[in-house]
Structure 1
Amino acid sequence: MGRYTDASCRLCRRERQKLFLKGTKCYTEKCPF
């Protein structure tokens, strides 16, 4: 099933660094960055 990645994850990708906008999710392997 496709997972909807939030706009905040897209910001991380644009800045090319982890911005930790999703909190603890940014620390997991599920983080696209």
Structure 2
Amino acid sequence: MFSADGEVLDSARPVLEGFLAAAIAHVEKHAPVAVA
């Protein structure tokens, strides 16, 4: 997944961050929790 120059990581980062944000929003929607 990682390349020497970090090209793969840089391209994957927005996708991973978007997925994480969607997952957090989904959890909060169905089971509200306090997020620090």
The verdict on a shared fold, with TM-score over 0.5 as the criterion, is no
* TM-score, normalization by structure 2: 0.25
Higher alpha-carbon Rg: 2
Task: Point out which structure has higher relative CO (alpha carbons under 8 A, 6+ apart).
Answer: 1
More helix, by proportion: 2
* TM-score, normalization by structure 1: 0.25
